[in-house]
Amino acid sequence: MRHYLVHTKGEPPELRDAPEPEPGPGEVRLRIEACGLNFADLLMVDGTYQDTPDLPFVPGMEVCGTVEALGEGVEAPAIGSRVACFAGQGGLAEAGLFPARACVAVPAAMPSEIAAGFIVAYSTSHVALTWKARLQAGERLVVLGAAGGVGLTAVELGARMGADVVAVARGPDKLEVARAAGAHHLVDAEAPDLRNRLRDLGGADVVYDAVGGKLHDAAFRAMRPGGRLLVIGFASGEVPQPKLNHLLVKNVDLLGLYWGGLLKSHPHVVTDSIASLFSMYERGDIAPHVSHVLPLEKADEALELLRRRKSTGKVVVRP
């Protein structure tokens, strides 16, 4: 089989041949049909992610594939079943070993390239908006990076929860993608005086921030008293330094969400979220957006799409 291997932090992964692995206790071997890429995969390759695996490793946090072998003690999922899995690594390959407990059955009507990029992005936004921010119908939700992998799901889910959604993204093409996902207001991230643009719309009850940097600062200054600021990630590369006295004066809640950490600390929150989202998909309530599907030999190009902000929604690699 072939896989992309990271040997040195900060160096691009290399496509290598390797023997097919045999599953150990608690593991399954998946014939990988698709791997959904995330910004965290770039951080892992660079060695700056909080959960970067030990070297060498195969990047690719989430996959969809068919179970073809079971390790000792594994009774489910059954051989031949199609599952999605978030394992943190191993996805950029033709086959891989994954924990059986991390595999979830995929709805029959969901294509593999959708299932591979579905769990992390949608559940991140679903948990953030419902469990963390307690978003209510009629509130104003400002989404920074609104055309990205997680941002676009926040736009879509926020609109379906009855919020007044403000999408902040770079350029008319990305803003159009956000509009199609349900955004009610479109603001170019490069527009001058973003704070006043947001204030003119009435300010923000909830800010969903997967970007950080200057956008974070502007959105925070446009928040309404009693608002909630969701810290999802720092795609800009700049980690904001919030002023706690401003949080105090404005009665603003600062809420961090690391979805991967919830798998250990609050696993029921994640499993309930995924079940709800699969049901929403089957009812046709949500429509995942994949902008690029590339073959395994072009995985480096797929990663570059994320690095250069050239994608919208998800980028997926198919072996």
Burial of 94 (0-12, 13-18, 19+ CB in 10 A): middle
Q: Which residues of the chain form CATH 3.90.180.10?
A: 2-118+288-318
Q: Which residues of the chain form CATH 3.40.50.720?
A: 120-259
Distance CA 243, CA 212 (A): 14
Q: What is the CATH architecture assignment of 2-118+288-318? A: Alpha-Beta Complex (3.90)
Which pairs with CB-CB distance under 8 Å and at least 24 residues apart come from 180-185?
Answer: 181/152, 181/155, 181/156, 181/287, 181/289, 182/155, 182/156, 182/158, 183/143, 183/146, 183/155, 183/159, 184/159
pLDDT in tens, the chain (319 residues): 999 999 998 888 999 999 999 999 999 999 999 999 999 999 999 888 888 889 999 999 999 999 999 999 999 999 999 999 998 999 999 999 999 999 999 999 999 999 999 999 999 999 999 999 999 999 999 999 999 999 999 999 999 999 999 999 999 999 999 999 999 999 999 988 999 999 999 999 999 999 999 999 999 999 999 999 999 999 888 999 988 998 999 999 999 999 989 988 999 999 999 999 999 999 999 999 999 999 999 999 999 999 999 999 999 999 9
- Per-residue model confidence (pLDDT) at position 191: 86
End-to-end CA gap in the chain = 10
Q: What angle do CA 287, 304, 302 make, to 5 degrees?
A: 50
One-letter amino acid at 22 equals E
- Per-residue model confidence (pLDDT) at position 52: 86
Candidates 3.40.50.450, 3.30.70.580, 3.40.50.2300, 3.40.50.720; CATH matching 120-259: 3.40.50.720
Contact 167, 183 (CB under 8 A): yes
- Per-residue model confidence (pLDDT) at position 152: 98
Distance CA 182, CA 164 (A): 9
- Helix, coil or strand: residue 10: coil
Phi, psi of 258, rounded to the nearest 5 degrees:
-110, 100
Distance CA 273, CA 275 (A): 5
Distance CA 140, CA 270 (A): 25
